[in-house]
Amino acid sequence: MPVLPQLVPMLGRIQEARTRLPDASVPVAERRAMIHRGMDQRAATVARPAPPVSVTDHKVPVEGGAITVRAYRPPDVSGLLPCHVYAHGGGWWLGELEHRDTLCARLAAEAGCVVVSVAYRLAPEHRFPVPVRDCRAAVRWVADQAGTLGVDTSRVSIGGDSSGANLAAATALMIRDEGGPPLRAQVLEIPALDLTAGRSDSAEPEEGAVLTRAELDTTIEQYCDLQLRHHPYASPLLADDLSGLPPALIMTAEYDILREDGERYGRRLERAGVPAEVICWPGHVHGSHEMTAALESARQWQSRVAVFLRDALRA
């Protein structure tokens, strides 16, 4: 089907906004701050208002410092709850906890779990494998602080979107390789799983693409050295062995150059004996799953994630 008609005006605005983006001569921190202002506006308008949840920030020690995680807990729920650890997207160099507040709060309420959102350190200041290790540290911290969080350590999952899905898949591999803590499930939304450019551009719209090949290549260059891009923690799709990983829900968008990554990863997981459900959402583009204020199918997308987690994390 064609791109959803509600998205066409947005695609035009994105195309026009590209002409105003600061170039590489502007320092990274300044460019990031400029783009984050636009992301702040987007986060405040594209999603339905969040339901009431309790929100607490915590510091997690990591090698070389500390990161912040934000825990969202459904209100008026006693006892131990399952936990979903979430990594935001943003090309490994953009994104703040606030940009996913609404999404994480709604997921906590609808899935009936604690959601822990990770403010991993960003590239290019912190290149691969630092963000993966930060996400691994967050999962370990959840296990260590389960009593404080009110979390059942036998019911923990991981997920993310776009570059965050890359980190989630890599973290699942790293945790498997290191022997725990165990994960029940992984949710990979519009995932980037092969940093070696081993995909076609067949799914990219001719005009108004949300994520172009050039933009993807630039973010990969900022995140990961060329000689490391075949490493399974950088490109989970290229891992020799995917057995022993948690069951996966993989969500892709029809008009997204990352669609093939998700589809190929799902097939490889199944061949390795790992249950994997891959759903391609017709008419969607990269990131349109966030637009729950305007798109019924985006609301269905988010509900599907919540149902999957409810089932996967059931006691």
- CA 119, CA 36: separation in Å to the nearest integer? 14
Closest to 253 in 3D by CA, of 198, 310, 210? 210
Residue 81: the pLDDT is 97
pLDDT at 217: 94
pLDDT score of 103: 95
Give yes or no: 225 in active site.
no
3-state helix, strand, coil in the chain (%, to 5): 45, 20, 35
**Which of 126, 256, 288, 289 is an active site residue?**
256
What's the confidence (pLDDT) of residue 70?
98
117, 162, 235, 288: the catalytic one is 162
Q: Domain total for the chain? A: 1
Known catalytic residue: 217?
Answer: no
Mean pLDDT, all residues of the chain: 93
Tokens 């006691």, residue located: 315
pLDDT of residue 202: 55
Asked whether the bond before 181 is cis by omega within 30 degrees of 0, the reply is yes
Q: Is 162 a catalytic residue?
A: yes
Residue 40: the pLDDT is: 79
Report how far residue 163's alpha carbon sits from residue 188's, in angstroms, rounded to the nearest whole number. 10
90 is in which domain, residue-wise? 5-312
Residues 29/310, Cβ–Cβ less than 8 Å: no
| Gap between the Cα atoms of 291 and 299, Å rounded | 8
Among 82, 81, 59, residue whose Cα is nearest residue 70: 59
Give me the pLDDT at residue 44, please.
75
CA distance 271 to 8: 37
Name the catalytic one among 117, 286, 288, 289. 286
Backbone phi and psi for residue 160, each to the nearest 5 degrees, phi listed first: 175, 175
Segments of the chain with pLDDT less than 70: 198-208
CA separation for the pair 133, 315 (Å, rounded)? 28
Return the CATH number at 130.
Answer: 3.40.50.1820
pLDDT of residue 207: 52
Cis peptide before 282 (omega within 30 of 0): no
